[in-house]
Structure 1
């Protein structure tokens, strides 16, 4: 069995919606090393050229994208699987290519089914996640072996996986299963895997920036993690000894930089016809992504919202996306032929692509600031989208009178994996967290006048939700919440604790909307001759990323324990 003493190396993994990367460190010499050797080659032989290494995303990450052949055999991962530059040979220009698989992480998010990306027939999202993690795992093994030969992998490695704050425990359980299947863990329940939330990891990373801004113990600061798919927010307070306390519930939404790309494609749909864009997506997805990458590199990355510094840009459809020309019909085709297939992007066009996304982020920040009475001394913007000059300017314009320091720290793209690595090296750095759910157990109580008649059981009892830890409460690591129970009938020989979570602190019953079972624990009740005088103390202990349920038979001293992934 592995213990903390066996761990020699810590590896943090930022498995993002659109980009992924990892960092690593040796515990003896805990230097934070962000991997910058993402390979840009293929697994197999693909019949297309790929773009050069994308400078705007940095070398710390590659795209969270896969490419499969017709037999669902993986042929490429990362950036080579995404954007396909049209071949120079005309006979190949309009030939359908391998369709990349992307955004598959959204299948674990709490979003509508129509917002989840369609996967190729026969490809399960768990397999896609496992395939991607498997390819990254090969790179991690190669990297660690070159750094520290002799490391027993994975036995002596602690993995820290950052996840979105809004993920439920079942999504984290799926990620644990995928990590095991991808070769990171010896057993499914290995203690070598730790979870942290993405905003928490970002907060740990930004903590070191506080001294640069002359912020001291007691100062509260907000992290706005602007990624490709999601934006997550959290507010923390600096405690003595460089430790963190969470003071508000984490919040987030799907409004990352990829949603600006969506607005760009909608713009093209209005101009060229939605049917044409649909056929392009179905038959030439790689070319469509190449078109998006051209928009990003030539327009999106440089846009700062100043009309005096913006010059209208042109995209040559015939050069960057020739397959699209076959699908444009009618009046739209006549207009494009007259314009020689050049798409103009003026200032207002681009601003209208940004504004729906930026406004959503501003709304999230507004709500986060309003959720606490404590003054927010600083706001740190991290994640790839945080480098958008337009997003920065709009946030500063909106909040400069409420928050005196609004800054982008060094290496914002690598903030998650670097912060997660810091957490993995020193898991005591996080002292408190705010619960996003109310935790409790189902109890059998005596039915009383005023209780719903339809809920009365034949034995005159009623099942209710007994609250133990309330949503919105700031809890310390290893803080305990107690409940004492006894048998309902004298000859009872066992007892089951059904543990539930709900976003509503006022819930009364375990079948209400939003109520979800976290797990259950069954214990023995020996000596039925003692009747109801057999008490059991039930405890929920909130750890770093897990909640531990403990039941102690007060008479026999027998202890039952079970752990569940914590809903942060």
Structure 2
């Protein structure tokens, strides 16, 4: 296989926006998931009059919410049984009646895509009892359940053909390309056509939601109205605080009202589940690890009661709460543990000192505040911080962040817990509302150029078609940190020579690379990773002496895509890269 040589320059194109009759968004979260949709006729209304539809989920206690727990249950034959509250309650019932061991319950499994360094299609995850199971099947069936439920609801409101629906899937902005591809493929297997599918980054979707709110509805932590938040020239930070991750992005509002990313999306695994994990560590310390692990596995219904009680107390906590927290314990936990009566504040409540309870939040809030500070040190013009996501609705968390930035206006918008879900619907109708993003990597291809003694490494020296060349040159098409227009295309012209007979029938190869460096020199640099290759077959009568190629690299689409066209056969070869090899 032969390399190509660089020649010429590049330019930008953009992909036109297409109309959709209906947009449906699936917000697949770590702790809770849901869906929302609306019709073009609703979207065309003014912001205040527009209606976005969603399901109202309920458990046996008649709790109504816009999302359901991200819990999937499979039966002993590995067939999908249920999702959400239904799955949680069924599994608790199975545990109670000692019939759970052959069943497979998965909770909060989305974080596996963030925590796994090298994702594979065959990746396995563990259920509640430690048994391994195909991860793709769990994700696919969960998405299929949400898809089918959504379609039924659309049918009741306004029957439409499935081809009229444009689908949006939300993912954390800090996810890798393999994680995004995993979700994309799971959605395809769940019955969502790839051509009707779009990925939305969660903080961007939340920004689109906040932008749609009527001016004056945003109120900061000092109860002052925030006006002109999305006027031209204004900069703001969105902090999406979900169950698993905390994602941040910084935008500036352009003259045309569109949003320009001025700091690349970043964040970490600091969401609400970190508080739950710290609480779990406290419970283990109080009751003993062996006892709690056994109780959790064999008394699922009682354990769920404890989790719900903690969630209730967690949400009630405010920054100025100065009393000790009284946590109601399940009767069986008291009866079966070695807890002394003296440890209880009343017959069934465990007292937790106020400062101790607030420490449950400390790992998350400290990491979040430190990361916000690191960004604002570089972007002093940002004076508005918008907190969205379920974790942001905690009065305690939002106050901690507000107090850490007294010179900034910190806002938790109305319905912050569904900001991403609602924003994803709006984003589906107008994806170009995000004008440009900061490129997260440097992208380019491996090529060869004339060897220069003393400049190029001698080990890369090779004679190609009678000329002394340097192999493994990184030819840059897009640089980390530069502004990249949404749906943009980078184009570059390359050439190859075929004077020698052995090269006339060579298959030409174009290896595509990404780098974490802004200025990689060679594709062998430690910062570089090979994404894939485009292969170009020679014509039947062989290549002429000189061949020119036009390479295009597409950004901002669901899949990272590269095409290459030569001026001899005029065939366009393309590759949508496989990050899950």
Band the TM-score falls in, shorter-chain normalisation? 0.7 to 0.9
Normalised by the length of structure 1, the TM-score is: 0.84
Aligned-residue offset at 1:76: 2.6
Aligned-residue offset at 1:272: 1.0
Is 1:506 the counterpart of 2:519? The answer is yes
Matches for 1:352-391 after TM superposition, within 5 Å? 352-372=359-379, 375-391=381-397
Match among 131, 142, 162 for residue 152 of structure 2: 142
Match among 355, 359, 367 for residue 348 of structure 1: 355
Determine which structure has greater relative contact order: mean sequence separation of CA pairs < 8 Å that are 6+ residues apart, divided by chain length. Answer: 2
Aligned-residue offset at 1:243: 1.2
Deviation by residue 1:271-301 (Cα, 9 ceiling, x = unmatched):
111222222333344532331111111x100
Rounded Cα–Cα distance in structure 1 between residues aligned with 2:254 and 2:245: 28
Partner SS, residue 29 of structure 1: helix
Partner SS, residue 306 of structure 2: helix
Contact 2:473/2:523 (CA < 8 Å) preserved in 1?
yes
Aligned pair in 2 of structure 1 residues 525, 99: CA closer, same or farther (>3 Å)? closer
Is 1:394 the counterpart of 2:400? The answer is yes
Contact 2:491/2:553 (CA < 8 Å) preserved in 1?
yes
Rounded Cα–Cα distance in structure 2 between residues aligned with 1:325 and 1:408: 42
Aligned-residue offset at 1:514: 5.0
Partner SS, residue 146 of structure 2: helix
In structure 2, the residue matched to 1:163 is: 171
Rounded Cα–Cα distance in structure 2 between residues aligned with 1:437 and 1:5: 28
Aligned-residue offset at 1:487: 1.8
Match among 48, 55, 65 for residue 37 of structure 1: 55
In structure 2, the residue matched to 1:406 is: 410
Contact 1:438/1:502 (CA < 8 Å) preserved in 2?
yes
Contact 2:532/2:578 (CA < 8 Å) preserved in 1?
no
Residues matched between the structures, number: 529
In structure 2, the residue matched to 1:44 is: none
Structure 1 segments unaligned to the other structure (5+ residues)? 42-49
Rounded Cα–Cα distance in structure 2 between residues aligned with 1:385 and 1:106: 16
Match among 414, 428, 435 for residue 431 of structure 1: 435
Aligned pair in 2 of structure 1 residues 534, 380: CA closer, same or farther (>3 Å)? same
Normalised by the length of structure 2, the TM-score is: 0.82
Contact 1:106/1:117 (CA < 8 Å) preserved in 2?
no
Contact 1:465/1:508 (CA < 8 Å) preserved in 2?
yes
Is 1:312 the counterpart of 2:318? The answer is no
Match among 133, 136, 140 for residue 126 of structure 1: 136
Rounded Cα–Cα distance in structure 2 between residues aligned with 1:108 and 1:229: 11
Is 1:193 the counterpart of 2:207? The answer is no
**279-288 or 196-205, which moves further after superposition?**
279-288
Is 1:464 the counterpart of 2:473? The answer is yes
Rounded Cα–Cα distance in structure 2 between residues aligned with 1:339 and 1:450: 79
Matches for 1:248-287 after TM superposition, within 5 Å? 248-287=263-302
Match among 294, 297, 301 for residue 309 of structure 2: 294
Aligned pair in 2 of structure 1 residues 29, 84: CA closer, same or farther (>3 Å)? closer
Aligned pair in 2 of structure 1 residues 444, 85: CA closer, same or farther (>3 Å)? closer
In structure 2, the residue matched to 1:45 is: none
Aligned-residue offset at 1:33: 4.3
Match among 184, 188, 196 for residue 176 of structure 1: 184
Aligned-residue offset at 1:172: 2.1
Contact 2:19/2:429 (CA < 8 Å) preserved in 1?
no
Rounded Cα–Cα distance in structure 1 between residues aligned with 2:62 and 2:524: 54
Aligned-residue offset at 1:128: 0.7
Aligned pair in 2 of structure 1 residues 511, 315: CA closer, same or farther (>3 Å)? farther
Partner SS, residue 10 of structure 1: strand
